Structure 1
Amino acid sequence: MTTTRSTDATGTASPTTAGAARLHHPATRRAFRTVKILAAAYGALSAAVLLTVTVLASTGHTVTSFLWGRSGGILASAAVVYWMTVLASRGTRWAYLRVRILSVVMPLAIVTVDMIPGVCPLWFALAQATCAVPLAAAAFLSNGPGLRAAFPKP
């Protein structure tokens, strides 16, 4: 069965037949729900790291601009990933493709940068790596055959 595509009022192409049917399949809905939960967990853990940095700074500990920027940036990326996951679950192909890419690239980037000697304290590297775990798990689901089938190539 081929998939035809239509354009909605916003100019977004959306699946109209086979892809749409797969998008509303219970297994696809369940997979998207799990990816949303994992993205939310990524955000919650990122917020906890930023809160830790804030508490350390307010209690007189040395906190570098790298720690502030990195923890704030990771929290912002969590919000973007969650937003794109919501859009993807509603059938937006471009958002789905970005979730697929970010869920693979972000955990690798987080761990790689934190492994550079002297960039950040060990506790911070471990906390950031912990943040990356739910997003890495989301990568397996978002790149799996179930969700890919809901977004066939045009």
Structure 2
Amino acid sequence: MSLETFLLRVDRLAGGRGAGIMISEDARTHPKTARAFRWITWLLVVELVIGVGALVVAMLLATNGESVGFAVWMRTVVVLGMTVTLFYFAWRAKLGWRWGYQRLRLFAQIFPVITLVMAAIPGLYPAWMVTEQIIFSLIMIGIADFLTSDHMREAYRKPAPTT
């Protein structure tokens, strides 16, 4: 089985019924689309760096004998896993798969809310992680802003039903 065949199976799992819908080549290669994905990629790289940084901080604290709570460890693992997933969605969306755009936009709009609510729970995370979560949320809001622009919504609009 080729890599692309495998990825199409993953796409079917992640994208559901709409997994096979692609946007037009003109919309995919439009300069505004390309620019949006350049920004989104860089913002996701920043998210990845922040996530790895949080893991490094937690590891340093733990190796120096400080107590690092289970919530901190889970948060770092979840953020890194989520960021990898968002890279996959962005990559597939950049190739023109509508489902990738939809998933990326959905998560970019939902994750900041969840993250900020979790950060607001008193005593759940140390101050450094609350700060990390706020920064993470702001970057995700930036990604969502690119994805919900008029151009991107038009480029990835739902195709008209066929008769």
TM over 0.5: yes
Q: 2:22 maps to what in 1? A: 14
Check whether the contact 1:20–1:150 (CA below 8 A) recurs between aligned residues: no
Kindly indicate whether residue 78 of structure 2 is the aligned counterpart of residue 73 of structure 1. Answer: yes
Instruction: Return structure 1 stretches of 4+ with deviation > 3 angstroms.
Output: none
Q: Aligned partners of 1:27 and 1:14: how far apart in 2?
A: 17
AA paired with 1:103? Answer: A
Q: Aligned partners of 2:140 and 2:87: how far apart in 1?
A: 10
Q: 1:4 maps to what in 2? A: none
Check whether the contact 2:48–2:80 (CA below 8 A) recurs between aligned residues: yes
Greater shift after overlay, 91-100 or 117-126? 117-126
Q: Which of 110, 115, 118 is the equivalent residue of 1:113?
A: 118
Q: 2:39 maps to what in 1? A: 34
Structure (1 or 2) with the greater helix fraction: 2
Larger relative CO (CA 8 A, sep 6+): 1 or 2? 1
Give deviations 1:108-146, integer Å, cap 9, x for gaps.
Answer: 111111101121122211122112222110110011111
Amino-acid identity (%): 24
TM-score normalised to structure 1 length? 0.87
Give deviations 1:17-45, integer Å, cap 9, x for gaps.
Answer: xx331111111111111111111111111
Kindly indicate whether residue 68 of structure 2 is the aligned counterpart of residue 63 of structure 1. Answer: yes
Give the paired residue count: 143
Please report the RMSD computed on the Cα atoms of aligned residues, expressed in angstroms.
1.4
TM-score normalised to structure 2 length? 0.82
Unaligned runs of 5+ in 1: 1-8
SS in 2 for 1:14: coil
